[in-house]
Chains A and B, each alone.
Chain A
Amino acid sequence: MAVGKSVKRIDAVAKVTGRARYTEDFFEPDMLTAKYVRSTIAHGRVTAVNTDKARQIEGVEAVFTYEDVPQTTFATAGHPMALSEVHKDVEDRLLLTRDVRFMGDEIAIVVARNELAASEAAGLVEVEYETYDPLIDPEDILAQDARPIHEGRSNIVGEHNYTFGGDVDQAFDQADHVVEGRFATAMVQHCQLENHIAHAYMDDLDKIVIVSSTQIPHIARRIVGEALGMPLSRIRVIKPFLGGGFGNKQDVVLEPMVAFLTLKLNGRAVQINMTREECMLCTRNRHPFYIDVKTGVMNDGTLVARDMDAISITGAYASHGHAIAAAGGSKQSSLYPKAATRFHARTLYANIPVAGAMRAYGTPQVIYALECATEDAARKIGMDPVEFRLKNVARQGDINLLSNKEILSCGLVECLERGRDFIDWNRKKKDYEQFKTGPIRKGLGVACLSYASGTYPVCVEIAGSRIALNQDGTVHVLVGATEIGQGSDTVVAQMVAQTLSFPYEDVLVVQAQDTDVTPFDTGAYASRQAYVVSNAVFKAANQLRDRILAHAGIMTDEDPKHLDIVNARIVDNRTSEAVMDMKTLAIDSFYHKERGGQLTAEISYKTTTNAPVFGCTFVDVTVDIPLCKITVNQIINVHDSGVIINPVQAAGQVHGGAFMGLGAALSEEFLIDPESGYVYNNNLLDYKFPTFTDVPPLNHDFVETFEPTSGYGNKALGEPPVVSPPPAIRNAVLDATGICINTLPMSPHTLFSAFKSHGFLDGKGGQHV
């Protein structure tokens, strides 16, 4: 039984030996390097570009400006093609732009024989601008006379409303208490260790090969075709090993440009390898949100009404645009399915870097506000926050009123109970009573989350799998599921091993994605991969199993129904005796002159369900008032993600998510100048994502349920762990200090202002407490 075991990662040895090859590790002979010329202002229009000096640098092969690129706008979001207008992505991007919409916008590009020449020449391209006031603050963006950031388009990229659970206004009228709060989250960045990188070349007169660090090879192929007006079949995208994405590479960033450049340069290989500073400033980030929340609650602890009004800032280009706010808002219905709920969101353009997909896709922002507001409601009626949640959260059998689907598996109550036990909630609550005054204070916090296992019914959910028996009795598996470090290749191997009854070691997954070869799948995002691929793999493995047994039947003259596969041997199921090993069968199928053939199975499968997942975070914190510092003493994430296919890998996902949540809670933010739109900290020194010394030991637990809509009972896990740590920490700080810090991150800077305004500090370093 391979499922449920912590088998060794399929690619671990390749990675610890340094032999795993990433995009930068592939060299093409005579490959050229391209460097963007980026705007030095946040909002304006280019009036003149002079490339003469740049062209004179030795080694420069070409310079292209906004005048040289196709004038067809395209959408970059890594979504499957939408057949309905309502779900169509915003087509607002050109390969190079004359209209400048953020500081770092792409005006021209230099191609040279080496990086030094390209950089030097890019610096010599002279650009003149007509400048406009940057629009950064939501009030300015929404002002009647605000300049449209995209000509002919509203500054509101998208807007929608939904309600469920009955008449919301009436529910508020009947509530014993109404609690209100205003929340804000920062723009944060993925900081995947491998920057964006891609190169392209032509291996024919009309065929482009792109090697790229992308989460979405098949989607990238389509969008490059759209951007360049080329048939999709003339574009081939290869994804080697990938050094992390977290959503930043669920967007088409470099692929259309490298494809354009190789087309222009007679098929020569051209690479763009972003610097860290460029990658942080000019790829994608997490949307900052401003959220007003109103919560209606009864004295007995029943949550009856919720109203949420959100503004999401998508920055200079739509990218995933309004889909982020819509997706984030939709998670409430599976978390608190009984309250009458209204959600309204608007997504705005702004002259700041571009926001796109990032781990959990709008949900961290919405759930942060929701779980802070839930805490405030529990405190209003004097109810223990864990008890309050236990009373109101989803249970198996509840109906998700937004999708009108029954929640078929839900272990959230047990997640809360286990987390409460782990953190020793009841005892510490009493012990910490003595730490509510003075400079050092202690508190406990909790927050819940719900998430989805894919994007259906908003997007198609399609996965493909091909399995072939090798001559030595092992199998090779091709999937369109995209391994980006999360471990999907390993769990696919486990699933195949489970269904075929093969040893895990005998299942080999073809590592690289190649759109000319691998079955169609839309890629790694939405925590969809293991859930959506599970059904395709399950069906393909069963199909191959049947074919193996059919061939065994021919070889042995037995009815296949009397035969079975047990640990890669053909067994007579009446006697449990081994009939032959898999290699014997395979050799016969390949080389017998009259019977058999290569035994393969292939399935493309569309999943039309979407299982909600659940989880919670518990934290124990110390707040040092004079130092304005929060120390997380203990943290645990408990998740219901259905059956856990690989416990060690799953733990790794939880730790990584919790760690990213800790960063968002305490230290991570883009520091954007409110006047100029300049980003002060687009590097790994000044952008504070936690180092080894900044994180406490990370704990995790799983409440395993069985999800009947999944091939192996599993549900989503990759993104959810990032969601609940920030509100849990905010709630613990509230418990410790009595102060609601409703802005992320809760950095010393934020705490200083809050403590000062509450009279805890005198503003000169002294304290009043």
Chain B
Amino acid sequence: MTDQVLKQITFTINGVKRSLAIDIRKSLAEVLRQDLGLTGLKQGCGVGECGACSIMVDDVLVDSCIFLAVWADNAAIRTVEGEARDGKLSKVQQAYVDEGAVQCGYCTPGFIMATTAFVEQCEGKTVSDDEIRKAHAGNLCRCTGYQHIFNAVEKSMTPDDPMPGQDDHPNQES
């Protein structure tokens, strides 16, 4: 590879600063998966149709397959790998587990990020069913019919329990 296709960029990934020489032709999805081994994001189309590669760049949800890695210079990137901390799932992840919103799981990392971005943007606001649906319309799922994902998004938006994670019957359908 010649020097012309390499560029040194710096960003934070899930809170950790990284600096690396990347192939300027690569998408951010490719750099994250191939260069950093962050394989949580998935590629279902490569052209921004399916949303399986959704991540957050400076708190904005993007399809990382059509987001050039060079554009991420100096940005703060969040991927699904950074959402669970200290052995505990994020509220959104827990809601997906509890509501049965996961089947094959291939769209799940992208959906988790889409819901996370939506929940953070809408904090303190009341949202309509249509707003939930529109905010996730860029993420395709072929397994669930979106129903349980809808339920998980709703659950992600409810105020925290006084005793989070201490649900009496975590395995029961509500």
- Residues of A whose CB lies within 8 Å of any CB of B are 5-9, 11-22, 24-25, 116, 190-195, 241-244, 246, 275-276, 484-487, 504, 647-649, 651-652, 655-660, 683-685, 689, 691-693, 695, 697-698
User: Which of B137, B149, B171 gathers the greatest number of chain A CB atoms within 10 Å?
Assistant: B171
Q: Are B173 and A647 in contact (CB under 8 A)?
A: yes
- A6, A487, A655: the one contacting B145 at CB < 8 Å is A655
Q: Which of B79-124 contact A (CB under 8 A)?
A: 79-81, 83-84, 89, 93, 96-100, 102-109, 112
**What's the minimum C-beta distance from A17 to chain B, rounded to whole angstroms?**
5
For this complex, 30 residue pairs linking A to B, each with C-beta atoms less than 8 Å apart, are: A5-B172, A16-B93, A17-B89, A18-B40, A18-B79, A18-B109, A18-B112, A20-B105, A22-B42, A24-B43, A191-B142, A193-B106, A193-B143, A242-B104, A243-B44, A243-B106, A244-B103, A276-B49, A484-B104, A651-B100, A651-B147, A651-B173, A652-B103, A652-B144, A652-B147, A656-B142, A683-B47, A691-B140, A693-B137, A698-B145
Q: Are A243 and B144 in contact (CB under 8 A)?
A: no
User: Which of A16, A242, A651, A684 gathers the greatest number of chain B CB atoms within 10 Å?
Assistant: A16
Q: Are A193 and B42 in contact (CB under 8 A)?
A: yes
- 10 new A-B contacts at CB < 8 Å, known A17-B93, A194-B42, A652-B144: A16-B93, A19-B81, A190-B142, A193-B42, A485-B143, A648-B173, A651-B100, A656-B145, A684-B140, A698-B147
Contacts of B133 in A (CB 8 A): 692-693
Contacts of B36 in A (CB 8 A): none
Contacts of A691 in B (CB 8 A): 137, 140
**What's the minimum C-beta distance from A649 to chain B, rounded to whole angstroms?**
6
Q: Are A193 and B50 in contact (CB under 8 A)?
A: yes
Contacts of A7 in B (CB 8 A): 171
**What's the minimum C-beta distance from B68 to chain A, rounded to whole angstroms?**
15
Contacts of B103 in A (CB 8 A): 244, 485-487, 652, 656
Q: Is B41 engaged at the interface, CB distance under 8 Å to the other chain? A: yes
Contacts of B143 in A (CB 8 A): 193, 244, 485, 652, 656
User: Which of B41, B46, B146 gathers the greatest number of chain A CB atoms within 10 Å?
Assistant: B146
Q: Are B47 and A276 in contact (CB under 8 A)?
A: yes
In the complex, which residue of chain A has the Cβ closest to the Cβ of B100?
A648
Q: Are A12 and B43 in contact (CB under 8 A)?
A: no
Contacts of A16 in B (CB 8 A): 80, 84, 89, 93, 96-97, 102, 105, 108-109, 112
Q: Which of B129-164 contact A (CB under 8 A)?
A: 130, 133-134, 136-137, 139-150
Distance of A8 Cα from B137 Cα, bound (Å): 26
Distance of A648 Cα from B45 Cα, bound (Å): 29
Contacts of A660 in B (CB 8 A): 142, 145
Q: A655-B144, A689-B142 are in contact. Are A193 and B102 (CB under 8 A)?
A: no
- B44, B47, B97, B150: the one contacting A8 at CB < 8 Å is B97
Distance of A193 Cα from B109 Cα, bound (Å): 12
Q: A9-B97, A193-B141, A684-B50 are in contact. Are A18 and B39 (CB under 8 A)?
A: yes
Distance of A241 Cα from B136 Cα, bound (Å): 24
In the complex, which residue of chain A has the Cβ closest to the Cβ of B94?
A16
User: Which of A17, A22, A194, A689 gathers the greatest number of chain B CB atoms within 10 Å?
Assistant: A17
**What's the minimum C-beta distance from B169 to chain A, rounded to whole angstroms?**
9
- A-B pairs with the 7 shortest C-beta distances? A18-B40, A485-B104, A243-B106, A659-B145, A15-B105, A655-B145, A18-B80
Q: Is B28 engaged at the interface, CB distance under 8 Å to the other chain? A: no
Distance of A693 Cα from B136 Cα, bound (Å): 8
Q: Are B100 and A243 in contact (CB under 8 A)?
A: no
In the complex, which residue of chain A has the Cβ closest to the Cβ of B103?
A485
In the complex, which residue of chain A has the Cβ closest to the Cβ of B93?
A16
Distance of A504 Cα from B171 Cα, bound (Å): 11
**What's the minimum C-beta distance from B153 to chain A, rounded to whole angstroms?**
10
